[in-house]
Amino acid sequence: MAANAASSERVVDSAKVWTTLITNTDYLSGLLTLDYSLKAAGSKYPLVALYTDTFPAEGHAALKARGIPSKRIPYLLPTMSKDYSNDPRFYDCWSKLTPFGLVEYERVVQLDSDMLVLKNMDELMDVPLDGPELAGRGDRVFAASHACVCNPLKKPHYPKEWVPANCAFTTQHDNPEEAQKTGASPLAGLAMPNGGLQVVVPSKEIYDLIQQGLQSSVTASYEFADQSMLSDLFPGRWVALPYIYNALKTLRWQGVHDAIWRDDQVKNAHILLSPKPWDEKGDDKGKNDETHKWWWNYNDRRQADEKSRNIDDGF
C-alpha cells in the first residue's frame, strides 16, 4: 500500500547526500563498512541511513555511536505485489524509491548497503540530469548502471529472456576500455537499470508518478520490484553509467563479464547475493568471492578504528 513521502527536513547540512536503506540489523555491518569506505575514499558528502519502523533500538544506537545521520522513511509497498518468496529481498526494494521524494536535497545518490566504495565517486553528484521542473518528462530522469540479465546462477524463477545475449554489458565486450568510461545505451539489452545505485534529482512530481505506479495493478507483474518500475515508467529516459559505479560481483566471474571487468578501475563494488561477507565466520571469511576479501579488508580496518574510539558493539 502506498505511503506518504518522508518529512522534508534535512538531517544533515548538505544539499547533496548519499543514502542507503536499512530495515533491520542483518545489513547493519554492511552499512557501517559502506560509510567507512565512503569516508576512506575522501567523499565530501555524508551518508544518510534511511530507516523504516522495523529498524530496532540497537541499530539506532550503533548509528549514533558512529555519528551516522539517519532519517525515518515509510515502508513502501505496492497495492498489488508479485509473490517474491523466491527472492524476499525484493519486498524491501520498493522503499529504495524514496530518494525521489527527498525534495529537501538537490541531489541524492542511493546506495545498497552491500556496496563497498573503493575510489572517490563524488562526480556522481554532478552528473547532468533533468531538473525537477521537467517533472519526469525529460530524457535524463535519473542515472544508474544496467542490470546484468545473464542469470549466471541459472535461477529457475528468473525470466527466460534473462540470458547473456540480452545483456547490455555483453554489447560492450568488444570495447572494454570504453566500458570503463561509458555505459551501454539505456535501450541496450533488456534496458533495465540496476536499483543498487541510483542518482536522483528529487522531485515531487516524479515521486507522485511513483506513488501512482505503486497503486497500479501492473506492479503484480514486476519481476524485479523497483527496477522494473523505473524501466517501465521511464523507458530509455535514464542515463546509463559504466559498470564501475555499480560493479556487481558476478560481472567479475569468468564467462560472465570478465571481458570488461578491471579490478583497478572499479569505484564501487556491489557484493550482491548470499552469503554476504559479514555472514562468513572464522576460516570462511573472504573465501566465497574475491570481492568478499576486499570487504573484509575494509571491515577489519573499520573495527580496529572503532575499538580505538571505544566503540565495540558487535557490528
Residue 254: CB partners within 8 Å, gap ≥ 6? none
Strand partners, 116: 269
Proportion of the chain above pLDDT 70, given as a percent: 95
CATH class, range 16-308: alpha beta
**Alpha-helix residue ranges (DSSP H) falling in the chain:** 28-40, 57-65, 89-93, 176-179, 204-214, 225-233, 290-308
Taking alpha carbons only, the member of 86, 64, 92, 71 closest to residue 17 is: 71
Model confidence at 68, pLDDT cuts 50, 70, 90, reads very high
pLDDT of 2 > 70? The answer is no
pLDDT at 1: 39
Average pLDDT over residues 55-67: 98
For the stretch 236-259, pLDDT in tens is 999 999 999 999 999 999 999 999
For the stretch 174-199, pLDDT in tens is 999 999 999 999 999 999 999 999 99
Domain boundaries, the chain: 16-308
Instruction: Please return the burial class of 165, using the count of CB atoms within 10 Å of its CB with bins 0-12, 13-18 and 19+.
Output: exposed
